[in-house]
Every structure is written in structure tokens, then in C-alpha cells.
Amino acid sequence: MPVGLAELAREAERRAEPTAAAYVFGGAGTEDTMRANEEAFRRWRIVPRMLRDVSSRDLSTTVLGTEMPAPVALAPVGSQTIIHPDGELAVARAAAAVGLPMALSTVSSTPLEEVAAAGDGPKWLQLYWPTNRELGASLLSRAEQAGYQAVLLTVDTFLPGWKPRDLQMAYQPYLHGIGIANYTSDPVFRGLLTQPPEEDMQAVVGQFLVQFSNPGLSWAELEFVRSHTALPIALKGILHPDDARMAREHGIDAVLVSNHGGRQVDGAIASLDALPPIVDAVGDDIEVLLDSGIRSGADIVKALALGADAVLVGRPYIWGLAVGGEAGALAVLRALLGEFELTLGLTGHTSPAQLGPGLLVREG
């Protein structure tokens, strides 16, 4: 297992099937937003403080009502069995081993109940709100019954982004029945079919595509979502301060500042660059999380210093999964946590709550 993430990424891409590599490593358009996410972190430089007693450090926090050993969660990544046969089950066990919340994608290869049972760590459900409201309500109910502790309602994927790598490969896992297990196991979805899923997979995929793309999604739908779950809700995909304010006004518990890892709008603002204005807009009224571009413990420190309550890490643990299965994903998580704790102490801090913008300077 390479310790350095750059080397790990190269090894993961080498081992993965070309179609899977295109899906995991690719982004929208020219992949400018993917690059911008990482470059945004490089523009902020840490200014450590010295001669502070950091002999006792505590990373723990509570976000979205979930007690966490560190302000880090696993970002949702769909169709993980295209990377490793154990997919989401392996990742759930790895996350549980370090106690970090795992956000399960709606488009997982394994039903949410089975993933919940795979590891005893906290779970969040990332939810693509379907065109059929009752299907959405059913997914929410199943998540509550399975013990999920929060919902990440994704609002930036009402249409699929333009992804040249996938188009070049003419490949989407969903078209092959991979990543739709939460749909085929749902009673409402099955009720929309004229035959059982096992008898007509083409019809299943067609109905999935009808449900997945929801360009009519609007703020008005949030009242229905809110009324059908008692779980905390974070809106995932917020990049504009006004949208963060709207989320607060609609009774949403948190916003997740995210450009979907650069997979939706090519040329979009980097998530880290969007973070400070959003923190300024909503203050302490709601929680603010961030994903897209986290590649190190230092990146975690920078995001928290700029106002994030927690971060979500995506591609790195998938690289670990590709190279070493469950053990590989676990190695990545342990490395990120280890580097985060060391960086926290080496900058003169003993807890994430102490981090603030005074720790950073902007390059140039």
C-alpha cells in the first residue's frame, strides 16, 4: 500500500478496469473544476504557532447530531463494486473500524440495510430525490429504520453532468444494473414496474433513469422532505451564499459545500473558495460541511480553519479500496486521521474548535 496519496491514486488507476477508472477518476468537461478543487487548498498556507502545550489533543466533535471521533466523514461514492467486489460493505467495515460516519450513496451497489449491518459505525444516507415523491419517502423511512443518523439531500445532480471519459467508454454502471440496489429493493419502486426486476432488467434501468433525473426539483419540495423524516438534513451541493440562506430559511439543519468533486459543472467555483462566503452568510445558525478536494490532513485543517464544521473525503478511500479492499480503505482513513492530528498539534492546537482563519494566509 503506497502511503502517499498521489502514488496510491496512480496504483488504483492502474489496477482498475478502464471503465471503472473513467467513472472514478473522471470529471465534468475539461475537468477544470476537479483541478480547481485541489489548487484552492494549495493557495492557503498554514502559519504554525509555537510554545503551546499540545501534549493532550482531542479531535472529537458532534455534527448532524452524530458523535464523531474527528470532524471527518466518508463522502458518498456510487457503484463501488465496480472498483472492488466487496464495494460498500468493505468501506462500511473500514469506516466502522475508525468510528467515522459513512455517507452511503443512493446509487450504491448494495441495499442500504445490508450496508447498515456491515459495520457498527455511524451511517448517513446521501439521497438523490426521485421524481416520485412516495419513492423518496420510502427511502427516507428505510434509512430511519436501518439506523441511519442523517440525510445528505443532494441538490446539484438533478441532471447528469457532461463527463467525456464516461462518454468515450460508452459506460455507466447503472445501465448494467450496478448501483441501483436501493431501487430494486424498494417496494414503491417495484410497484412502478410491470414485472419483477429479475425478469426485465431493461425496464428496471429505464424506470431508474426516470426517477434519478429530476430537473423539476425546487425549494418547494423541501417541505415534503422535511415532513417525512425526523433525521437531520444537510443540503449537499451548495456553492452560493444565497442558497445557504435559503436552506436556513427552509429549516434545513446544515449545508454541504460541494461541487460534486468536479463531476457536474465544468468551470464551477472550487468548494474551498465557496466556503468562507457561505460561512459568513449563515453564521452559527446552521452547520456547514465541505467536500471536494480533500487530499491530506493539512487540507482538513485548512477547511476547518475557514469555517467548516466537518469535511467529507471521497476519492482517496476509493483509491485505497481499489488497491487493498477493506484494508486499503482503512489504511487511507487511518493515514488521513494521523496526519490531521499531527498537523493540528504541530500548528499549536489541541482541538478542531480552536482552528480559525488566523491560522492561514492566502498565497500571493
Active site residues: 260
The torsion region of residue 261 among left (phi > 0), alpha (psi -120 to 50) and beta comes to left
* Cα–Cα distance for residue pair 99/114, rounded to 1 Å: 18
Please, what sign has the CA dihedral across residues 287, 291, 296, 298? negative
Q: What secondary structure does DSSP assign to 136-202, as a single string?
A: HHHHHHHHHHHT--EEEEE-S-SS----HHHHHHT--GGGGT-S-HHHHT-HHHHHT-SS-GGG-HH
Which residues are registered as beta bridge partners of 80?
A: none
Residue 317 sits at φ, ψ, to 5 deg, of -70, -25
Euclidean distance between CA atoms 320 and 329, whole angstroms: 4
**Alpha-carbon gap, residue 156 to 275, rounded angstroms:** 16
Identify whether the C-beta of residue 286 lies closer than 8 Å to the C-beta of residue 247.
Answer: yes
Task: Please tell me whether residue 50 adopts helix, strand or coil conformation.
Answer: coil
User: Do residues 26 and 261 make contact, with C-beta atoms less than 8 angstroms apart?
Assistant: no
> Nearest to residue 143, comparing CAs of 262, 229, 47?
229
Euclidean distance between CA atoms 174 and 315, whole angstroms: 19
